[in-house]
Each structure stands twice: as C-alpha cells, then as structure tokens.
Chain A
Amino acid sequence: MTTTLETPPSPPPQSAMTPAKPSGSTRAPRGLVFLAGAVAVLLLVPLAFLVLEAVQYGWGAVVPKLFRQLTLSLLWNTISLSVVVTALCAVIGTLAAWCVERTDLPGRRIWAVLVVIPVGIPDFAVAFGWKSVFESVGGFGGAVLVMTFAVYPLVYLPVAASLRNADPGQEEVARSLGVGRYRTFWRVTVGQSRLAVMGGCVLVCLVVFAEYGAFEILGYRTFTTEIFSEFNTGFDTAAACALSLVLVLLSVAVLAGEAATRGRGGVSRIGPMAARLVRPQPLGRAKVPVLGAFVVLVALALGVPLGAIVYWLFAGTSSTLPPASVASAAWHTAFYAAAAGVLSTVLALPVALLSVRHPSWRAMTLERSTYLVLAMPGLVIALAFTYFSERYASGFLYQSAYLLIAAYAIMFFPLALVAVRSSVARAPASFEEIGRSLGRGRLAVLWSVTLPLVAPGLAAAFCLVFLEAVTELTATLVLIPTGAQTLSTQFWVFQTNGSYGQAAPYAALMILIAAVPSYVLGRWFDRLPSRATVPK
C-alpha cells in the first residue's frame, strides 16, 4: 500500500521498499529484530506441522497422492479461478476506488461505505445467497461470480487509500501536457497505485486459495476443498498435508512474483506532504453510466446475499433441528473476533516497523514469510494447533478461548500486517529521529510519536482481522471451547442440514456485526487526507 509515483528520469532507488530517503534504515534494534523474529516463528507453526506430518508418513506415501492426474486438474481449477477472480477484482476495485476518490461521482461518501461492506459478508453466506436464489449457480462461473463480489474490497481498500494519499498534481500535469484522459488514468493514476493494486491482488489470490465454505456450497473443486475431502472422507492426513504443501508452494510463487514486480521500474516514494485536497475530475456524460455501474455493483455484491437472507428470514422453513441461542452466539463471535483483532494488530507492529524502517533482504524475507499462513486452509491451521498443544504443551489451553483467539490472530495476521505496514510507511521516520535526538528512549518514542502517527492503520488492521474472524468456520469448529457456539458454527449447523430459515438470522447478525467495522473502515478512508497531511 506504499504510495508511489513513477519518476522515469530519476536514478533507481536503493530498494523499492525504501522510503525516498531511507534515513531511518540504520541497524535495527535487537529487541525489534527479536520480536519480529518471534512473530515470524509463530506464524510458521502450521507450516512446521505440515512438514512434520509429511515426513512422518514418508515420501513413499505422499508422492503417489501428489503426482496424479487429479493434482493437475485441481491445479488448473485453482489457478484459473485465482487468475480470473484476481483480475476481475483488480479491475473492479481499482475503477471503483478511482471513481470514488477522484471524480465528482454523486453520493461519493455513501458509495465509499457501501462498496466496502461486502468484505464483511462471509463468503459462504454469499454463496448460500446466490445458491438459494438461483439454484443453477455453481461450477467455475459460480465460483468466479461469488468470490469476485465477496473479495474485491481487498483491492478497493488499499487502492482508495493510496489514491487519497497520492499527489493529484501528477494527473493535472499530465492532462495539461495534452495527455488524454484514458492515458492519464493508465499511466499516472494506475502507476501511482500500482503497489496498492498488487498488494490487494496478492490478498485476493491467497484468500481464493484458502476458501472452502463457498466452494463446497457451489460444488467447485480446488486444492482446498480436496484437502478437506482427504482429511474427511479418507482420514488421509498424508494426502491432505501433501496437497497443502503444494498450496504453500503456489503461494510462495505468488509472493515472489509480486516481490519481483515490486522491484522493477523506477518506483520511489514521495512523502505524504504531497497529499492535498483534490479537485474532483468531472465525469461529464459518463456520469449516468458510472452511477449505473455502482448501482449494479452494490446490488450484486450486497443486494443478492442480503436479499436471500431477508427472504429466508421471512419465508422461513420448519426444521427438525433444535433451536439455539442467537445472543450467546453473537456475544462469543464478537468477543473472539475483537480479541483476535487486537492481538493480530499488536503482533503486526514489530514486523511492520522492521520491514519499513530497517529494510534489508532478511527483513523482507521475514515479512513475506508471514503471508504464507493466509493460503493455508483453516482446518490445517487448527489441526496444527491441536497437534502442538497436545503433544508438546500437555494440552495447555487446548479448546480454550485463548488458543482460538491466538489461532484467529495468526490466520489473519497478513491482513493486519498490510494495514499496519502501509501506515508505518506513511509516517515520516524523521519525527521519530527528532524524538530520539531529544533524548527520549526507543520505547518512549514508539509510544508518544510512532503509535499516534500509525493509529489509523492500527484501527484498519483491527477491523480487517475482526471482519474475517467473525466469519471463520473450519478452525473454529475444532478449537472453540466445548459448549460455546459462534454465529458461523450455528449457521453451519442449520445450513448443512438444509434449514435455511433457521440459518438466516445467524447470517444476518454476522453481517450486522461485520457492517460496523466496514463502516468504520469506509469512513476512515474517507477522512484520510486530514490525517495524512503532515507538514515536513
């Protein structure tokens, strides 16, 4: 999400990750390195489980499961879906962000909130919505449709933030030099937001890799659905771990690809002092079609799942299932998700500080390695926690709220990192140096200078993790304290038994709980300039 500008004539900067003048990149303090390292180790726990399991079963058992035609067809299913969904999300997210941030689109502030809310609707609820309204939705087309409308805000959010923060003068200069509107958009605007688009795309891609619930409902087979089948039907842990490792390798490839494009081209960062209020570009005759496009987008992304839920709420179905407590499930959901949001944000801070303030290939590798967890299916992460807690910690905290919260915090850590990292990158390091030069200690500077500067990023990190944790299902089923229910576990009980009428209130509450941080996120991005405009 680092704000960038294309500056063709300038000499290549020292590193694409580096702020224009890396004055802060002195040797990293030991404490920071230690903390960030500890976080990275924690995040590699699920990977360690996979490797241990694979080694335990031996290559003899794993190889035949890996090298067969099914792996190829799953690879094709997974990759083609990720590519198409990522591309669509990139286009929808970027265009929507540009229209909201840079044009005189009527009702911008309302759109800014409405287009974000879909990220808070659980993917399996979106699939359930489409499926229960149009029964024929399914297969590749259905998966593309459902995932695109469920996750495009992961591109929209960083791009909107970077447009807020970028120098609009560049566009004005380009236009004044006679460059057409479309070329200006492509060369300057997209160029400015390239890192944000790429960052969002990586998140989308990894989330598609790990999605399970939606594809199960839609009947589309990917690596992740197959990993669940192997665990479930075959009790075949070796095969499940082997397939998970392939998924991890795929994610490494995606991250490496993103890092490679990050490094290419003359990309450097101009301080946030360039941000100022933008005179919105008039849409002119395009106003009506663009407005229409927004109505369609919101109707599809928000209207269909909400409509289905409202329909089932009122149509109702009788059920053979026992009734359950909505209030208790709502309380547990909000509590676990909020605690995970706090924990994840706290964990992300040292990694973000290290990678932004003290960039090096080591710091970058460490930072990148923490993204891998996003592509691992929730069930694998949960079983990893089960395994280590029971085998090496005498069952310490197993099936307690603490371990569940820790699992959430780790699963969704990359989302927190993206938000914290971008706001650390925006906060001028020079302020911290001034603090230090005035004789304040490192921790005092962190508390009184850095934290207030990055506070909005911390809030965004909390909200993103909260949103995802509210909807988590498969790890929750394994790790939740016995007797407790969350909205998603109770939704699952009803939905898998075909009791849509009983499932609907749980989905509605999930969306309601998720709408609050979505609204906060939308509003936060809407107010960014005043926050980000820091005189140097």
Chain B
Amino acid sequence: MGRSRSVGALGAILVAGALLTACGSNSGATITLYNGQHPQTTEALVNAFEHESGITVQVRNDDEDVFANQIVAEGARSPADVIYTENSPPLEFLQQKHLLAPVAPSTLDHVPSKYNSPTGDWVGVSARVSVMIYNTTLLKADQLPASALDLADPQWKGKLAIAAGETDFQPIVSSVIRTNGEAAALRWLEALKANAGSHVYPDNETITSVVNSGQAAIGIINQYYWYREQVNVGASGMHSAIAYFAPGDVGYVINVSGAAVLKSSKHQADAQKFLAFVTSKQGQEIIGHGDSWEYPIGSGVSITPRGEVPLAQLRANPITVAELGDGAAAVALLQKVQLL
C-alpha cells in the first residue's frame, strides 16, 4: 500500500536524522560560547583560537539580552561556558546574579582596568563609541548639534531617528542621568521621543540605513555600524557621514564589549584560555584588522581600524563601566516615558 510505504520512508528519514544529529558531537576539549557579539567579530577570533589551542568552540548566536535571560533560566546547569557581549550591561546583570566566575588575573592584566569589570568578573575585549550619523544631503556639518542634549530641541522634530530598544542606547541614557540627574534626563527623553515621532527603530542597523537613505536626517549610533554599512553598500551608496559630539559631552560615550566565564561552566580552564586569547596581542590584532570595525583595547596594542579616529584621540565623557552598571536606571526611565 502506497501510504504505508511513504509513512515508512518518512519514519526512516526521521530516524536517520536523529542518529545523524546524535552522532554530531566529537571528542576532545570543547567549550560552548554564547555569542551576543556580531558574528563577523567572533568568527575570526574563534577560528584563530581553535587553531592555536586545539580546543573546539561551539558557537550559539542570539541577542546578548536573550542570552542573559536564557542563562538565568538555565540556572546552575547552563550549557554555556563563555558569554561574549556587545555591551557591558548584560555582563553586569549576570555578575549581580552571581552567575559569573572571576576572570584569571593574568587575563585582566591584558586590558587597562578601566575597561574591565570593577569586580573582576568579566574582561573588556573591544570598545565602540557613540556618534551622530547624519544624511549629507539633508544636513551640513556646521548644522550639527554640539551635544546630545541639543537633540531635544524642537528643530529636530521629524528629523531624528532613535533606537530606544537597542542595548547601545542605554549607556547614553545612563550618562545623561549621571551628569544631569534623573528629572532632566526624563525631560530630555520625552523631547527625544516627541522629535522622533514614528522614527523609533529596533536597532542601530535600521537607523544607519534610514539616515543613509534620507528617511531621517540624524541619529545616534555606535561608530562601527557606519563603517560596516559602507562595506555593505559600497562608498558610492553612502549618503551619510558620522560626526562626534563636543569633547566630554554626555552623548559621547565609550562602550565596552566584554566576555566572561560562567560560574556553572564545567570547562573552567579551557574557558579561561578563550578569554586570555581574545585579549592577547594576537586576538586584539584580529579585531583591529578584521571586519569588526571596533577598537581593540589591549594594553600596548595601538591599532586603529581603517579610516577611524584613533581611540587615544577620542575625547569621550568620563563615565566608567561601573557607573554604566546593568543599566537598570536607564531602563526604568525608558519605561517611564513609554519608550519601552
């Protein structure tokens, strides 16, 4: 009977698939990496690490915040050995939940301490800086505001694009709260929300693309999105430029991307080796020369991605990673103005 044969065939395929999936794991040292960083940054690092150490790295990709929540839900049996994030707040969140293991002191020494966890539970790997992106047809450089606070001015109504739900935005809110206090930060956010109107987007990639295409005139992003967009669409497709806020401005914030070993990891030594590698000279050079467009931050490593302003020349706001914390105050404020 035709039907039973096709049912049988389907069954055979499913069994074969299950067997294949079951046989997929290999022996030898293996660590699992929860990767919240952009894959272009991670892939090159992982390949070099596997080559150097002989340790296999299994990579999962998702948003850094989903990973933070997932690790909490997984609890003591989390399959993750290492988490690598784009920003420091998810790492601070996990640290406060006591889910991270201390980073080896020799690894922490690879990176200036201002880029590391204040408690030594995670290590900084690269840095990015918040900048303005503006459409060069709609705006000239001399029309740009000096401060992120100026974007609250009604003249930006209908021209401003923001990504309030993007993790890269919270550090700027934290910075405004720190300098100007919560009440002023609240007024600033409300004005930003009014100016943005329907230009509230889910992420920096979207802001980059809408400003580049002229749907919005100006936005705040981290610098590397613009350089990546240039690779994506080619120099001829770029109708935008980036500009820095005035030195020390609240909107001029350096964010740290970092990595940590989970306390629940059963491969502590191998996981620590991964952290040591990504912060080593070799790992930092991969970040500096690769497709990540972020700044390497290792001590004694002075590589600047092509065309960017060197990290040492940036005049960012002095807010520290400790002051950025897990971003809870920023999130509470964003919720208060109904942007979250």
Interface residues of A (CB under 8 A from B): 65, 68-70, 73, 135-136, 138-139, 216-217, 219, 225-226, 229-237, 239, 317-322, 335, 338-339, 342, 379, 383, 386-387, 390-391, 394-395, 398-402, 455, 477-478, 480-484, 489, 493, 496-499
Contact = CB atoms under 8 A, between A and B. Distances in A.
Given A135-B210, A237-B69, A481 B21 contact: yes
Nearest to B165: A229
B291 A478 contact: no
Nearest to A140: B198
Contact of A233 (B39, B62, B165, B293): B165
B340 A319 contact: no
Interface in B175-193: none
Nearest to A483: B58
Interface of B: 3, 10, 13-14, 17-18, 21, 24, 32, 38-40, 43-44, 58-63, 65-66, 68-70, 72-75, 77-79, 90, 93, 165-167, 170, 198, 200-203, 205-206, 208-210, 213, 215, 228-229, 231-234, 291-293, 326, 331, 334-335, 338, 340
Contacts of A455: 3
28 contacts: A68-B338, A73-B338, A139-B198, A226-B340, A230-B340, A232-B63, A232-B65, A232-B66, A232-B165, A233-B65, A233-B340, A236-B331, A239-B335, A318-B231, A320-B291, A320-B292, A322-B40, A339-B14, A383-B73, A386-B74, A387-B73, A390-B73, A395-B79, A401-B17, A477-B62, A482-B60, A483-B24, A498-B228
Main secondary structure of the interface of A (DSSP, over half): helix
Q: Can you list the 4 inter-chain pairs with the closest CB atoms, starting with the nearest?
A: A320-B291, A232-B65, A70-B338, A322-B43
A482 B13 CA distance: 22
B69 A235 contact: yes
A402 B14 CA distance: 11
B14 A399 contact: no
Contacts of B215: 135-136
Given A317-B232, A477-B62, A482 B79 contact: yes
A136 B209 CA distance: 12
Contacts of B44: 322
A481 B59 CA distance: 10
Contact of A383 (B17, B59, B70, B326): B70
Nearest to A502: B232
A390 B75 contact: yes
Best-surrounded residue of A226, A320, A387, A398 (most CB of chain B within 10 A) = A320
A496 to B, nearest CB: 6
A322 B75 CA distance: 32
B91 to A, nearest CB: 12
B331 A138 contact: no
B38 to A, nearest CB: 6
B65 A320 contact: no
Nearest to A215: B202
A230 B335 CA distance: 9
Given A235-B69, A239-B335, A321-B40, 15 more contacts: A138-B198, A217-B202, A219-B202, A231-B69, A233-B165, A235-B326, A235-B331, A338-B10, A400-B21, A402-B18, A477-B61, A482-B60, A484-B24, A496-B203, A497-B228
